[in-house]
Amino acid sequence: MKKNLIILLLIPFLISTLTIVTVNLTYNTVDVDISYIDWDYDDIEAFKLTDTPYPLTARGVNNRHVDVGKGNELTWTVSNTDDQQEPNARVINKDGKFYLETIKDGQVEVTCSNLKGNVSRSFTLIVYTNGAIIITSRNPQSAYGKVDKTQYYGQFDIINGQKQNASFDIMVRLIPESLSTANPQITCSDNISVNLSFDNGEKSGGGYTTYGTVSINNPGQSQIAVSTDIVDMQIEGGNYAFTAVKDGVNVYDYEQLLYCTNRSQSGEIVVLQTSFESYNTYLNSGTPYFGYANGGGKFDFNTQNGSIYSFTTKYNHEYLNQWNEARPDNQVQPNVLAGLRVQKDFYGNGYQINFHNLAYPSSTRVEGDVTIPTLSSTDLFRGPLPFYTVGTPSASSGDSLNIVTAYGQDNIGLYIDGDNITVNDLKVQNCDDVNVFAFLDTVGTVVEVDGDNVTLKNMRMSNGKNVLRSFSSQNLVVENSMLSNARNFLFITGANEYVVADPVKNYNFSTPNGGVNGTIGEFLRAESVANNTLNDYLNGKIGSEYDYKTKDQIKTVLNQLQTALSKDLTGQYMGSTQIVDCMFYRSGIASVAFESLFNGPFLYSSQLPTSIATFLQIFNKNFMPSRISGTSYPVTVNVSGNTKFYDYKTLDNLDVSGLIDENISTLAQIIGKNYTIDQIFPIKSIIQADAVYYQDEQGDRYINLPFAYYGGGQNCSTLTFDGYTDNHINGRINENGILDEDAVKRVDLLDNYLDLPVVDPVGFLGQILPPDVVESMGIEVDENTLIKTVTIVTGYEPFKFVFNKGDGYLFNESPKIEELQANATPVNIVREA
């Protein structure tokens, strides 16, 4: 008896192990670069003019200590920052070691970067013969370098939770130390005051150093200068300039950051004075980390203490509404989380905000030789909300095993919530660099814009499922910015608003048995012509022995049905974006995507086609939502200036598995079948023929896909290239900046699906479904039926793609920070509300 009882008690353990799901990830590896450059130089240095070159030393650091790819060796450059034409110094490379040779007095900027040029750091160097005066803030500049060279300070500091006039510490160093006896004087612009004495400094290293405090009394351009009585010889340096931002609040720690963002009702203008890093980087560099640590590298984020901002998704969540009403015991709250809610201007000063501690899975597991990030139960960022689920929806990717989930809005790192906001020179990423983009599946969107007249300039945004998302935001300007490393798209845009199919409007449907005139609802009734049409489509019943004799005949009716589900919203833009001088670097699918809602007949009426309704009712547990989708309003994007696309990939590496969460392949594994996302959602195979390739010397073919129109519903968004000077788009752009129609590759899913043959009269579904269900579906089911079933849900408006020419332009190249710096313009500091 005891043995039997023990066995009985062990059964739950054994049964539960059967529920384990093996998630197959696609491991498309990408090269990882160094995260930053570490060195011992101050922001401003002074080297005496000499014939002996100065050795230059620095090291590239990857904050995860992973092996970096090619092109990450460090190199040095130098350029004058004064108005001298002749170089003040130059860099010499001797046996792989770098030295700085001083040539003449003056100021230079010494820059260290990786060979790729996408990571760099600079310091100002004063080359002097007689003497130099260094004035610098005691708050070190960003280790990532600045794009906008202007140094910004806010008008206010936060002290004990109160805003007070800002002040910051400076250091003045006189070289040689004898300058301290030459009656040094400090002067400054009217809007600031400096409290500094030359009497109590300290002598060291041949110089004289003293410290003081700068108080900001009023906003505006600010100058500090130090001079001496010496007039007969040239003293270099002696100036320090910055911009005091009106109403800006300096942020030196996480509490202050939250004060200005999540905890503020209307927000504060943030002027960042430090980076907020991942815990790993903190351990390496000591830079403050993002979030409240509660020991052992774990973090505590919650809405109560304002460390996270939560809001109801603005994307279509009609499905979730209907689900929550039907299943009050198993609700999925339609809430989106954001790491920071920005409501006013944000000055990054080149510092970084890394949301890794919040956004990245906090656990890992090892499979073979791959360490895979794994969500633990306390992680908050768990993937996008479901827009529609076949099966049981869940607010977390992978938490429950759904058949198919189409995604809605994702969680966000930096959420820009409001109108007329400028975010300048901020480096932002949702996690540390990864070498597999699939690891970005649950980290969310890096920056989301939700407001009109928002400007993002001099930005570096990277490492997200999507990097930048803008829905229903007018006049977004993305200027002189770099977007890199996206699981799906570097910039995705669309509209939250949509129009549901008109239920009372009459349409004509030309069926084989004559025309049918009626509303969409009447047409979509069970046992109607539409039902038979869809069943014939799913079953491939097209030919002389069937109702539909030709593919064109059935395609006409299917298109009429899709038209009736859609509404022509051409020109009714709900969002607009100007992309100016930007760099797009490495996406999983495409650089820029125009999204429209999935809008298949099944989303309008889940009772039809009856065959699929019978099948899906089982998995939806009789929850059959209706009229949950519609036609998205269009948006427009204009690309201009020197916008560049460094987004080459082989077609094999184009990975659409991040677009939908599917477990059809898992289900198939139960009966020993292998399916891939590319069979279920065959975008890759469909665009293969129309893609524009660049072939490298080894004969490998690459695509560079800057633009994709994605979503099965009607997509009326427009793309223009007005003022685009770095044009390598495959196709002619006319004088109005409009791309020729034939340059847009249209992938008609319907054409493709109609060509799919009947594979097996029983096939996949026949093996897993009860016979009565297969019989009641009334169709023969095979794997192609299943694939076509996806279109009944998504809709079958063509997907559109715009390729770059196959000329190899920028192939194997990376965006250069230097270019961003050269192109940077400072922010207009006084912005009237």
Partner 1 sequence: MLNLIIKDFKTMLGSKQNLYQRVATAIFTLVFFCAFIIVELFLFRTILKQIGNINGAKESFLTVFLFVTTIILTISGLFNAKRLFFDNKDIEQLSYRPVSNTQIIVSKLAYLFFIHCLASLIFEYPLLVAYGQLANRAPIFFFKCIFYPVATFFFQMGIGLMLVYPVWLLIKFLKKHFLIELGFSLVIIFGLALCYSYVLDVFIKLVSKNGLVLLFSEEAIAKVISFRRFAVPVNFLLDIFVNNSKLSFLPFFAVSLGIFGMGLSVAIYAYNYVRNISLTPAKTHKKRAYKPVSVKKALIKKELALITKNSNYIFSFTGLLIVQPLLLTFVIRSMNASLTAGTLQYFTALIPGLTSYVDLLFIMLFTVIINQGANNYITMEKRTIKQMKTMPVKFSTQLFIKVSIPFIMSMISLLVSVIALMASKTVPFTTGLFGFIISACLLFIFDVVSLWEELSIRHLRARSTTFSSLISYLLPFVFAVSAIILSYLKVPNVLTILGGLLMIVLVGIAPVIVIFKNSGKLFLDLEAIN
Binding region for partner 1 (CB under 8 A): 1-5, 8-9, 11-13, 15-21, 23, 363-369, 371, 374-377, 391-392, 398-401, 618-619, 621, 666-667, 670, 768-772
Closest approach, Cβ 378 to partner 1, in A, equals 11
From edge to edge, which strands make up the β-sheet containing 404-407? 386-390, 404-407, 660-662
CA gap 332, 265 in Å, rounded: 27
Chain centroid offset of residue 530 CA: 40
- Judged by CB, which is closer to partner 1: 115, or 618? 618
Termini Cα distance of the chain = 81
Closest approach, Cβ 806 to partner 1, in A, equals 41
Closest approach, Cβ 789 to partner 1, in A, equals 16
Q: How is residue 457 annotated by DSSP?
A: E
Closest approach, Cβ 65 to partner 1, in A, equals 14
- Judged by CB, which is closer to partner 1: 367, or 696? 367
- Judged by CB, which is closer to partner 1: 316, or 611? 611
Closest approach, Cβ 372 to partner 1, in A, equals 8
Closest approach, Cβ 745 to partner 1, in A, equals 37
- Judged by CB, which is closer to partner 1: 305, or 363? 363
**CA distances from residue 182 to 49, 176, 201, 224 in whole angstroms, order as listed:** 22, 11, 14, 18
Closest approach, Cβ 371 to partner 1, in A, equals 7
Dihedral, 729, 730, 732, 738 alpha carbons, nearest 10: -50
- Judged by CB, which is closer to partner 1: 364, or 685? 364
Q: What is the residue whose two structure tokens read 């460390």?
A: 307
- Judged by CB, which is closer to partner 1: 16, or 162? 16
- Judged by CB, which is closer to partner 1: 417, or 783? 783
Pairing of strands 207-216, 202-204: antiparallel
CA gap 536, 696 in Å, rounded: 45
- Judged by CB, which is closer to partner 1: 118, or 397? 397
CA gap 701, 212 in Å, rounded: 60
**CA distances from residue 66 to 69, 427, 434, 575, 746 in whole angstroms, order as listed:** 10, 21, 9, 40, 40
- Judged by CB, which is closer to partner 1: 554, or 765? 765
Dihedral, 302, 304, 305, 309 alpha carbons, nearest 10: 60
Measured in degrees and rounded to the nearest 5, phi and psi for residue 537 equal -65, -45
Closest approach, Cβ 413 to partner 1, in A, equals 24
CA gap 423, 403 in Å, rounded: 40
**CA distances from residue 466 to 58, 69, 202, 442, 448 in whole angstroms, order as listed:** 33, 23, 52, 10, 9
Closest approach, Cβ 765 to partner 1, in A, equals 11
Residues 633 and 571: beta-carbon distance below 8 Å: no
Closest approach, Cβ 538 to partner 1, in A, equals 20
- Judged by CB, which is closer to partner 1: 22, or 162? 22
Residues 460 and 275: beta-carbon distance below 8 Å: no
Closest approach, Cβ 296 to partner 1, in A, equals 8
Buried b (16+ CB within 10 A) or exposed e, 509-538: bebbeeebebbbbebbeeebbbbbbbbbbb
- Judged by CB, which is closer to partner 1: 372, or 477? 372
Closest approach, Cβ 665 to partner 1, in A, equals 12
- Judged by CB, which is closer to partner 1: 2, or 94? 2
User: Which contiguous run of DSSP H or E holds residue 749?
Assistant: helix 749-754
Pairing of strands 74-80, 352-354: unpaired
- CA torsion sign, 732 to 733 to 738 to 739? positive
- CA torsion sign, 84 to 89 to 93 to 98? negative
